[in-house]
Amino acid sequence: MSGFGGTVALVAAAYFAACVGIATWATRRTASASDFFLAGRGIGIWALAIAAMASSLSGFAFIGGPGLVYAHGTGAVFIVLPAAITATLTAWTVGMRLRLLAEVRGVVTIPEAVGVRYRSPGLRRLAGVAIVVASVGYIATNFLAMGLILEAVLGVDRMLAILIGAAVVVAYSAGGGMLAGIYTDLFQGLIMAVASVLVFIAAAASGGGLAEQSRQILAADPGWFGPWGNYTPVAALSFFFVFGLGTLGQPHLLHKFYMLRDPSRLRWYPAIMTGAMLVTLLLFVGVGIAIKAAVVRGGIPPLARPDDATTTFLRTGTPVLLAAVVMSGVIAAIMSTVNAFLNISAAALTLDIPTAPARDPLRTGRVATLVVALAAIVLALGTTRLVALLGVFGWGLFASSLVPALALGLLWEGATRAGAFASMGLAVAGTLLLETLAHYKVMTLPTGLTASGVMLMMSLLTFLGVSWLTRGSAAGSLDADVRMVMRR
Amino acid sequence: MNARVLGWWLLVSGLLAIAGAYLLMGGSETNQAPAVLMIFGVAGTLAGPLLLSTPGRAPSWPLVVAAMTVLVVVLSGFLLALSRPDELPTDRLMLGLPLRAAIVLLGVGLVPALVLPWSYARAVAKDRLDPDSIGEFVEACRAVRAAGRDP
């Protein structure tokens, strides 16, 4: 193992040990299903917001994102550009309502909120199935990414690397549930933020500074630094639509609102979450620009794979110790996302999909966590083709199935059960069909048109249209106490 | 037009504009209609739900400020970026970035972050969210549900 690899391995080992320590502490404090699924509804606003940031930014923000910026320029930043808006949008539209639903009805999961909103166990079950299917894909994709990174850092076989990373995150997820998840997310989020700021400073100072980097890129590839980069305007703006409005349907973020100890503290959620997101995304933009400038001025050869942008910058532009901290930050980002999805899918399997309540929800939740993790490991080890398909499927399915039925449903008393069923059914079937046809190249979408964008737009219009057509049944889809929560 | 009607109008017309942009894309590269429709669509679909987020009562002024900030910044920022000519390496930079990239990254990407969290904190500060008020609210909800009547 080289000096670089050795230092990174040591820091990664220390990081894993810290996660295990937090998880052990949390496991001892997890005594009930409420502790396991909702961290005992006792989380403070700082921990909540930073954990939300950590779980929303997967390894993509540190590896795939800078690679996309390097390859496509400004247009790739549209994936994270709505971050200045989404935390406030989420808090204002659904955050407080979900927290109050938890008080009024004891709601524990996101599918349960959908079921309560429309007085429909069937809708709850459908939302639960959508969450489990999409989560397994998400988790498998992240296991695979973690395996690739640990393979590079530790020099071990990829299969063993996947199993090492999965074992750590599954152990604390199954043992300490959401309590372990929140506090490891907090720790991981702080590492991610610090690593991002330090790398951004190094990136902005490289190659003669940001202005000089801009001039070098403008001279060699002016389109890269146009407002849409190498994408078409519609393609870049489609990212903005899906990752902006689509945030309102991400269950791993929404679920965290149930856990807040004091609802009055929610007023600080947008400020903390937005600040944490913007700071942590500095690396996403800074490394992409710095590596592109280094390539166009001939400082380094063009990258064989865009995904190598961050590791190339770390090896060539930062001290070894900082590189080691950043690689731990990448692993942290992946683990926090995996943990969040393990928890929400275990909750769906335990509480939402079964027709009868579990006798021992805590034990069932732990078993469900293991089942989901095993399914994801099998997928990650088996076929990368299917994993990639499910990874893409995940975000789009969450957005198109939950933004209309849950987010708009909590804002509009005229929404109906039929509208929610139609939009959610269309979202599940349509997203799966379009992504599958596009992935296997049976059908090619025009450049810039994404299945997730089309399905989000179509499911929203379907929800509005069907609810309007069946508006006579709106009152029957809404209990009086839920109406009070919506109007609060 | 009250704020809630405006919210519905922005959301529905925004979605239809996005549908139009998707249908029209793939034509001539000089045709900017899909891009303009998409810009209106993303602005409307983000600002609209904000204005709809207080069912049963009029939006507070911080909420209106937040929604208008989203609408104006997204709409004007992207339209300005779309309308400006390509930059040359010798052109003046803004905070180290070419002008159009700066409009997108620093304008659309940062300006809402200066206004929206502050607006939300102002609006929520007036809500009664202390434990006693929440307890009363929960009891009222339970009573209404038990009686099977609307609030």
pLDDT at residue A384 in the model: 57
**Using the beta-carbon criterion (under 8 Å), do B52 and A412 form an inter-chain contact?**
yes
Q: Model's pTM, two decimal places? A: 0.91
* Shortest alpha-carbon distance between residue B58 and chain A (Å): 11
pLDDT tens by residue, A418-469: 999 999 999 989 988 887 887 777 877 776 678 889 999 999 999 999 999 9
Conformational region of residue A298, where left means phi above 0, alpha means psi within -120 to 50, and beta covers everything else: left
Residue A321 confidence (pLDDT) above 60: yes
**Using the beta-carbon criterion (under 8 Å), do A464 and B12 form an inter-chain contact?**
yes
pLDDT at residue A459 in the model: 96
Q: What percentage of chain A carries pLDDT values higher than 90?
A: 45
Nearest to A227 among B56, B100, B145 (CB): B100
Interface test with A, best of B31, B124, B132 (most A CBs within 10 A): B124
* Shortest alpha-carbon distance between residue A67 and chain B (Å): 17
Closest to A395 (Cα-Cα) out of A282, A193, A244: A244
Nearest to A103 among B55, B134, B145 (CB): B134
The alpha carbons of chain B give a radius of gyration, in whole angstroms, of: 21
**Using the beta-carbon criterion (under 8 Å), do A480 and B89 form an inter-chain contact?**
no
* Shortest alpha-carbon distance between residue B140 and chain A (Å): 8
Token pair, residue B118, equals 């502050």
Cβ atoms of B88 and A65 closer than 8 Å: no
Token pair, residue B121, equals 């904190």
How many angstroms separate the CA atoms of A203 and A317, rounded? 7
**Using the beta-carbon criterion (under 8 Å), do B101 and A486 form an inter-chain contact?**
no
Q: For the residues A258-287, what does the mean pLDDT come to? A: 92
pLDDT tens by residue, A100-114: 999 899 898 999 999
Q: Tell me the mean pLDDT per 10 residues along chain B, length 151.
A: 88 96 77 92 96 82 94 96 88 92 95 96 84 88 80 51
Residue A386 confidence (pLDDT) above 60: no
Q: For the residues A114-140, what does the mean pLDDT come to? A: 91
Residue with tokens 């079937």: A429
Residue A281 confidence (pLDDT) above 80: yes
pLDDT at residue A98 in the model: 93
How many angstroms separate the CA atoms of A285 and B33, rounded? 29
Nearest CA in chain B to A82: B109
pLDDT tens by residue, A49-103: 998 898 888 777 888 889 889 999 999 999 999 999 999 999 999 998 999 999 8
pLDDT at residue A73 in the model: 94
DSSP category for residue A445: P
Task: Measure Cα distances from B22 to A234, A322, A449 in Å.
Answer: 8, 44, 7
Give Cβ neighbours of residue A346 (< 8 Å, ≥ 6 apart): A37, A173, A365, A366, A368, A369, A372
**DSSP code per residue over A167-203:** HHHHHHHHHHHHHHHHHHHHHHHHHHHHHHHHHHHHH
DSSP category for residue B98: -
How many angstroms separate the CA atoms of A170 and A182, rounded? 14
pLDDT at residue B28 in the model: 62
How many angstroms separate the CA atoms of A92 and B122, rounded? 12
How many angstroms separate the CA atoms of A487 and B129, rounded? 14
Q: From the centroid of its chain, how far is CA B19?
A: 18
**Using the beta-carbon criterion (under 8 Å), do A457 and B15 form an inter-chain contact?**
yes
Write down the mean pLDDT value for chain A.
87
Cβ atoms of A188 and A172 closer than 8 Å: no
Beta-carbon count within 10 A of B78 CB: 27
How many angstroms separate the CA atoms of A484 and B151, rounded? 7
Residue with tokens 């904000």: B50
Closest to A457 (Cα-Cα) out of B25, B56, B108: B25
**Using the beta-carbon criterion (under 8 Å), do B101 and A222 form an inter-chain contact?**
no
Cβ atoms of A290 and A207 closer than 8 Å: yes
Residue B135 burial class via C-beta count within 10 angstroms: exposed 0-12, middle 13-18, buried 19 and up: exposed
β-bridge mates for residue A260, sequence order: A43
- Taking one residue from A and the other from B, the number of pairs with CB-CB distance under 8 angstroms is 227
**Chain A contact set for B118 (CB, 8 A):** 271
Token pair, residue A139, equals 């988790």
pLDDT tens by residue, A151-166: 776 777 878 888 888 8
**Chain A contact set for B89 (CB, 8 A):** 215, 218-219, 222
pLDDT at residue A46 in the model: 93
How many angstroms separate the CA atoms of A171 and A149, rounded? 20
